[in-house]
Amino acid sequence: MPTATPEPVEPRPPVRDPEAPRRVTLLELFFDLVYVVALALISRYLIGGVGWERAAESLIMLMAIWWTWAITTLVTDLYDPQRAEIKLLVVAVMFGALLMTTAIPEAFGARGLVFAGTYVAIHLGRGLFLMPTVRRHPQTRRRAIRIFVWFAVSAVPWLVGAVAAHDTARTWFWAGALAIDYLGFRLAYPVPGLGSVPDAHRKVTAEHLSERYQQFFIIALGDAVLVSGTVFSLHHSEVENIAAFTTAFATTLLLWRVYVHKSGELLPHAIARSSQPSKFLNTAPYTHLLMVAGVVTTAAGFDLVLLEPTGHTPPAWLAVILGGPALFLTGRAAFEYEVFSRVSSSRPGGVLALLCVAPALLFLAPVYASLGAMLVLAGVAGADHLRSRGRPPEQPMPPH
């Protein structure tokens, strides 16, 4: 009797298996190493000529670097990071991100095309890679097409700004490109004829995604530690050096403490308890960007204080030294709302305290300005401790 021809087996799409482990892979941790260097170069760039223009350029580079990390993290959350093609994609993005990082010191000068061209290549290349990979799976392929279209649109101002614009004009072109990229994500990448990405195709993995954001925040703190350990002035007395170093270390420790207290610890539980986990997908990149920007700015302030702890504190220096913790607390307030649907008074209170002490600190040495910022963060951490002491553990209540 003739044997029956077996039915061809449809290849499984490279998406995450719901029953597979949710832990972060070693390749993802290896991928993060690029960003240690990137954040250090951005904080160093910020203080190269402290001013509004330099601050805007630093923010644009941080947002671009952050977006390569955030979208790659989303890819490893939605797709199976153990599949060979996804591993290859992560390695390719790592190479591109490192190339972007090398261009940071001259991104608004001679190496603008390297920075912008690599950014565009990362995001368009990812789409060109994923679309044929998932061609047999229409819903997944349409999601990749929608994302690709939005990055193709933003590629125009990125490349025009790199090739045909200089100085302030380049800043505006790149700011517009980032607005397209960030808005597209927030709107779920709507495309005429295809619509937006459905919520069913934006499901996130609580354990994996929360761990990835926590890890990147630790990387940002690593920038502050790196500055504290390497930028140690030898031109001042040992007492001044140790005072500046101790203040920087204590501030870094407080940033970590304020981040992890309750909200940082309970983020995966909050995502898991949410009726719509995709809402965290909509907000987490922005809240964590604010906190990371705050830490990077704080690290830049450490650089200034460690090199020149005494003397007059210029207003621009004070804006960096106090602005970093203020940015962090603003992002931390939004992060707390994500997890608990409320904001502790210590968060806006800390920002208000930084604003109130700023005029007096203009007349003191930079080390005292740094000390003032540290004391405000210590007050916030102390208020957190007093609020939770003796009370049962608070359950996350994410926004509905």
- Tens of pLDDT along 72-109? 998 888 888 888 899 999 999 999 999 999 999 999 99
> Do 320 and 297 meet the contact criterion of CB atoms below 8 Å apart?
yes
- Beta-bridged to residue 55, according to DSSP, are none
Q: Which two tokens stand for residue 182?
A: 């960030």
pTM (2 decimals)? Answer: 0.90
Q: Which two tokens stand for residue 177?
A: 């490109």
pLDDT by residue (tens digit) across 12-56?
556 666 556 567 889 999 999 999 999 999 999 998 888 889 999
Q: How far apart are CA 78 and CA 133, in angstroms?
A: 14
What is the per-residue pLDDT for 257?
A: 92
What is the per-residue pLDDT for 9?
A: 44
What is the per-residue pLDDT for 3?
A: 54
What is the per-residue pLDDT for 393?
A: 54
What is the per-residue pLDDT for 184?
A: 94
Can you say whether residue 291 is alpha, beta or left, with left for phi > 0 and alpha for psi between -120 and 50 degrees? alpha
Rg (the chain; Cα; Å): 23
Q: How far is CA 255 from the centre of its chain?
A: 15
